[in-house]
Amino acid sequence: MTKKLVITFLMLALAVASAKTYYVTFFQPSIIAGTELKAGEYQLKVEGDQVTVRNGKIVAQAAVKVEENGEKYSRTAVRYQNGDGKYRVQEIRLGNTNVKLVFN
């Protein structure tokens, strides 16, 4: 029983350790996976091909493709699609990393 508990704890620890956390600021209301987020600072937690966006109680989850660039991005930048007056997030380039999140 103890061995099973230890293995379960180790698996949980590995899952948590594999998640990457970043921060982004939206300067206008932005839509991710159908959820409209107010302007403000958000935490991004990337786990595999999923990202969770959180600011207090506001949470959005979306499928993403994590791409790595050859060089680091100098600052965080958000690219939008704006078809009907609403800003839908297409990608986020994370400053001081070579990581780009492309939203599906």
pLDDT digits (tens, 9 = 90+) for 18-42: 689 999 999 999 999 999 999 999 9
Residue 10 clears pLDDT 60, i.e. is over it? no
pLDDT, the chain, mean: 88
Within its chain, how far is the Cα of 46 from the centroid?
5
The whole model's pTM is what? 0.80
Q: What is the three-class DSSP state of 11?
A: helix
Percent of the residues in the chain that have a pLDDT greater than 90, as a whole number: 75
